[in-house]
């Protein structure tokens, strides 16, 4: 015998009517669906970026020391804040011809990318062989053997210094995988994947600034995110050192007026009033003349010639107490 239905006919009809009615939309809800890749954590915030920025500050100091023998002067290197980018967008901003060095960075998963602009490499070569580093850029599709040699030496040194900085977080071991000059062959990540871009702005010589990019896949950074977030006592002292370096860099940009005095002849007021064009005032040059900044003696030097111009060769730096 058939059992009676649990719901009455009226109740069943009411439920069927509700199924045919469209559900109410909450106020302010978006009407456009958005694609989402399940299994991807790209949307999760990258909390380790501040730690990466702190390491970049230390890396900028190492880059200054690394580049000094190449440019034969102390360059200015500034670390910009790290940014999260779509890898395809970063590649689209690169020129057709660029130096790309792909390195494994174990125990970090995957690989990292070092990008150097061709004009930056040419300026380094010019400085290294005695130039001023301001030679005009000449379009090219390949590096010369000299540029290739210096490029490989520089890239390997940059990664060695980067591994030293990362040693405070983990013992990194860089290993070259490949070098490319076409960004389309940079197979570090898919074009739709996110990467962390750290940029170092380098200034030297009379030409404009250049930059060095180090690109990390976000998925690789997530594999060591806990290590990056760990705080150690060295971080506190490192922040103080970073502040000191920034302060010194800012002070170093302040310009002062320096002058030197070749002679101080004595004239009477009557002789001064009788001066006419063509008069000759005899003077005697001392063996050393002072270099004055804001009226205070900073150094002593001898007058000579350099590159066809009169010049002052510093012979002695005054003691600090005499400079106050």
pLDDT tens for 127-161 read 888 777 666 556 677 888 988 899 999 999 999 99
Q: What is the CA radius of gyration of the chain?
A: 33
Q: How confident is the model at residue 21 (pLDDT cuts 50, 70, 90)?
A: low
Q: Would you kindly state where each structural domain of the chain is located, as residue ranges? A: 49-252, 258-323
Position 116 scores a pLDDT of 92
Does the pLDDT value for residue 37 go beyond 80? no
How far is Cα 161 from Cα 180, in angstroms, rounded to an integer?
21
pLDDT tens-digit readout, 87-113 = 999 999 998 899 999 999 988 888 999
Q: How confident is the model at residue 312 (pLDDT cuts 50, 70, 90)?
A: confident
Q: Grade residue 200 by pLDDT with cuts at 50, 70 and 90.
A: very high
On the question of pLDDT at 28 being above 60, the answer is no
Percent of all residues in the chain with a pLDDT value above 70, rounded to a whole number: 77
Count of C-beta atoms within a 10 Å radius of residue 272? 8
Question: What is the Cα–Cα distance from 164 to 61, expressed in whole angstroms?
Answer: 12
Which pair of tokens denotes residue 228?
């990056």
pLDDT at 160: 94
More confident residue, 82 or 205: 82
- In sequence order, the β-bridge partners of residue 314 are 301
Tell whether the model's pLDDT for residue 42 goes beyond 70: no
Instruction: Decide if pLDDT at 236 tops 50.
Output: no
| Predicted confidence (pLDDT) per residue in 241-257, tens digit | 666 777 777 777 777 78
Q: Is 321 in contact with 297 (CB distance < 8 Å)?
A: no
Q: Give percent helix, percent strand, percent coil of the chain, each to the nearest 5.
A: 35, 25, 40
What is residue 100's predicted lDDT score, i.e. its pLDDT? 93
Q: How far apart are CA 56 and CA 33, in angstroms?
A: 39
Q: Is the dihedral of CA 180, 75, 208, 140 positive or negative?
A: negative
Q: Considering the domain delimited by 258-323, tell me its CATH architecture.
A: Roll (2.30)
pLDDT tens string 278-311: 888 888 778 888 888 877 888 888 888 877 788 8
- What CATH number labels 49-252? 3.40.1550.10
Asked if omega into 185 is within 30° of 0 (cis), the reply is no
Q: Which residue from 176, 261, 220, 209 is spatially nearest to 78, judged by alpha carbons?
A: 209
* Lookup result for tokens 């991807």: 40
Is the pLDDT at 60 greater than 90? The verdict is yes
Q: Which parts of the chain are beta strand (E)?
A: 76-79, 83-86, 99-106, 111-116, 173-180, 194-203, 210-217, 258-260, 289-293, 296-306, 309-317
What is the predicted pLDDT for the residue at 240?
A: 57
């Amino acid at each position: 015998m058939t059992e009676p239905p649990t719901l009455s006919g009226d109740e069943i009809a009411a439920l069927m009517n509700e199924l045919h009615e469209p559900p109410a939309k909450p106020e302010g809800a978006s009407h456009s669906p958005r694609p989402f890749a399940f299994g991807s954590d790209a949307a999760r915030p990258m909390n380790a970026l501040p730690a990466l920025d702190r390491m970049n500050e230390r890396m900028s100091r190492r880059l200054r020391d690394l580049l000094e023998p190449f440019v034969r002067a102390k360059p200015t290197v500034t670390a910009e804040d790290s940014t999260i980018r779509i890898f395809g967008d970063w590649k689209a901003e690169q020129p057709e011809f660029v130096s790309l060095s792909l390195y494994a960075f174990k125990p970090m998963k995957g690989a990292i990318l070092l990008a150097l602009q061709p004009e930056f490499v040419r300026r380094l070569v010019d400085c290294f062989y005695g130039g001023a580093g301001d030679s005009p850029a000449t379009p090219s599709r390949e590096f010369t053997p000299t540029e290739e040699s210096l490029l490989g030496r520089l890239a390997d040194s940059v990664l060695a210094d980067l591994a030293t900085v990362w040693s405070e977080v983990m013992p990194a071991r860089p290993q070259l995988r490949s070098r490319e000059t076409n960004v389309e062959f940079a197979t570090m990540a898919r074009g739709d994947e996110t990467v962390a871009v750290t940029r170092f702005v380098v200034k030297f010589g009379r030409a404009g600034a250049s930059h060095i990019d180090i690109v990390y896949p976000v998925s690789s950074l997530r594999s060591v995110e806990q290590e990056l977030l760990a705080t150690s006592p060295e971080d506190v002292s490192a922040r103080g050192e970073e502040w000191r370096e920034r302060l010194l860099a800012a002070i170093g940009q302040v310009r002062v007026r320096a002058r030197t005095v070749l002679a101080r002849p004595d004239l009477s007021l009557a002789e001064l009033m009788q001066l006419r064009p063509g008069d000759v005032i005899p003077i005697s040059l001392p063996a050393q003349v002072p270099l004055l900044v804001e009226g205070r003696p900073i150094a002593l030097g001898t007058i000579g010639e350099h590159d066809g111009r009169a010049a002052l060769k510093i012979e002695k730096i005054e003691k600090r107490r005499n400079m106050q």
